[in-house]
């Protein structure tokens, strides 16, 4: 038996968002980005390019950094999603916020949620990244204000602060 072959109709999708189990009624090809923003009101996740080039819609899905504009919501069924709103409990958020403020890493703010999530994804894997590793870790996140140097410095500062150097 193949369950539900013709599946353009809306149906329930269950997943965990920021630690809470959620049920949303959605078309399977709706973008995770739109479901997060429009159904769940999590507007911290931004839409920039809508084609996976800019990283402003970054979220963590099962611990992996992903562009939520490229994910049909049906593929997020059963997944554990963390958006920028869910970062408030993360130990890295305060040092990153302070470092972004101190270094001038945020200007207009559209890229910032994605930058923070990409930085968290990087620092969780590499607590003491080199500048090259920071550049690579954030390479999929575009910023049209800062020129990037302030953002790289902010991530390096947060990393140093976290490991106590």
Partner 1 sequence: MRADPADYCLASPGSLLAVLSMLAAEPAQWLPIAGGTDVMVLYAAGKLPNRKLVNIWNIPELRQIEVFPDRIRIGAACTYTALRMHPIVSQEFPLLATAASWTGGIANQNRGTLGGNIANASPAADSLPALLVYDAELTLVSARGERKLPYRSFHIAYKQTALASDELIRDIFLPRRFSGYVSHARKVGARNAQAIAKVCLAALGRLANGTVQDVRLALGSVAPIPLRLVATERELLGKKIAPSLLVTARRSVTGEIRPIDDIRSTARYRAAVSGNLVVEFLEKLASEGENA
Indicate which single residue of 14, 19, 25, 77 sits in contact with partner 1 (rule: CB under 8 A): 77
Q: Any contact of residue 8 with partner 1 (CB under 8 A)?
A: yes
Which run of H or E residues covers position 26?
strand 20-26
**Alpha carbon distance 78, 73 (integer Å):** 10
Residue whose CB is less far from partner 1, 126 or 162? 126
CB within 8 A of 83, min separation 6: which ones? 17, 18, 36, 42, 44, 45, 59, 113, 117
Q: Which two tokens stand for residue 7?
A: 């599946």
Q: Any contact of residue 126 with partner 1 (CB under 8 A)?
A: no
Subset of residues 25 to 44 that bind partner 1, contact rule: CB under 8 A: 26-31
Name the site residues for partner 1 (rule: CB under 8 A): 2-8, 26-31, 50-53, 55, 58, 64-67, 69-72, 74-75, 77, 118, 121-122, 135-141
């Amino acid at each position: 038996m193949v369950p539900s072959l013709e599946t353009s109709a809306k149906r329930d999708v269950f997943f965990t968002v920021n630690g809470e189990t959620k049920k949303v009624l959605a078309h399977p090809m709706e973008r995770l980005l739109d479901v997060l923003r429009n159904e769940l009101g999590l507007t911290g996740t931004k839409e920039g390019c809508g084609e996976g080039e800019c990283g402003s819609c970054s979220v963590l899905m099962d611990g992996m950094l992903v562009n939520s504009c490229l994910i049909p919501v049906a593929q997020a069924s059963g997944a554990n999603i963390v958006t920028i709103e869910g970062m408030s409990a993360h130990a890295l958020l305060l040092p990153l916020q302070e470092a972004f403020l101190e270094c001038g890493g945020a200007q207009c703010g559209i890229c910032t949620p994605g930058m923070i999530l990409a930085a968290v994804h990087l620092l969780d894997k590499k607590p003491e990244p080199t500048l090259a590793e920071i550049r690579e870790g954030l390479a999929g996140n575009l910023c049209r204000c800062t020129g990037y140097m302030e953002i790289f410095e902010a991530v390096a500062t947060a990393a140093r602060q976290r490991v106590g150097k």
